[in-house]
């Protein structure tokens, strides 16, 4: 997401909104699979040797529940995005690193599909009855057969 200096009116702010490919944000590394583009709505302006931008970011996708391991829909939304980027030598600044950082910070470390009442987590529902039903693993007859073979060979 690049902003060119010439796009910003002197002493004023530039309003930009649109959609971009979410792939450069590498949200998959945080367990989030985007199902749509990154939508943004930003106001950018010059301040000193840099460009500031404030606004909103949003990306639809899925997370994987830590309990039932099923994917569930999740919207990654930054409502109060705010960043300041130094201009450097070029005539444009790239907001992507800031956007990526902010969005990664919002990814839950332990996503749960029942986080906001979206649905009851299937794993949580079966935890109690499932634990009671579990039997200890019976001794396998395979080991008996193997030990007999060993005895025959010696």
Residues that bind Zn ion (CB under 5 A): 65, 67-68, 113, 121
Give which of 93, 83, 106 is closest to 27, Cα–Cα: 106
- Nearest distance from residue 57's CB to Zn ion, in Å? 26
- Nearest distance from residue 38's CB to Zn ion, in Å? 26
Q: Which residue is nearest to Zn ion (CB)?
A: 65
- Nearest distance from residue 65's CB to Zn ion, in Å? 3
Give, rounded to a whole angstrom, the gap between the first and last alpha carbons of the chain. 72
E strands, 5-146, in order: 14-20, 33-47, 50-64, 71-86, 92-94
Give the nearer residue to Zn ion in terms of CB position, either 67 or 92. Answer: 67
How many CB atoms sit inside 10 A of residue 33's CB?
A: 13
Give the nearer residue to Zn ion in terms of CB position, either 67 or 84. Answer: 67
- Nearest distance from residue 73's CB to Zn ion, in Å? 12
Give the nearer residue to Zn ion in terms of CB position, either 18 or 108. Answer: 108
Handedness of CA 61, 65, 69, 70 (dihedral sign): negative
Q: How far apart are CA 7 and CA 152, in angstroms?
A: 85
Give the nearer residue to Zn ion in terms of CB position, either 78 or 123. Answer: 123
């Amino acid at each position: 997401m690049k902003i060119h200096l010439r796009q910003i009116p002197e002493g004023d702010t530039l309003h930009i909104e649109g959609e971009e490919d979410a792939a450069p944000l590498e949200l998959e590394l945080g367990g989030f699979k985007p199902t749509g583009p990154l939508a943004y709505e930003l106001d950018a302006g010059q301040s000193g040797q840099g460009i500031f931008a404030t606004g909103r970011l949003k990306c639809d996708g899925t997370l994987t529940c830590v309990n039932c391991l099923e994917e569930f829909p999740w919207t990654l939304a930054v409502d109060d995005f705010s960043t300041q980027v130094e201009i450097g030598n070029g005539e444009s600044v790239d907001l992507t690193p800031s956007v990526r950082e902010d969005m990664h910070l919002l990814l839950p470390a332990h996503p749960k599909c029942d986080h906001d009442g979206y649905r009851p987590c299937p794993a949580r529902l079966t935890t109690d009855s499932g634990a009671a039903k579990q039997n200890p693993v019976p001794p396998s007859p395979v080991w008996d057969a193997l030990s007999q073979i060993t005895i025959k060979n010696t």
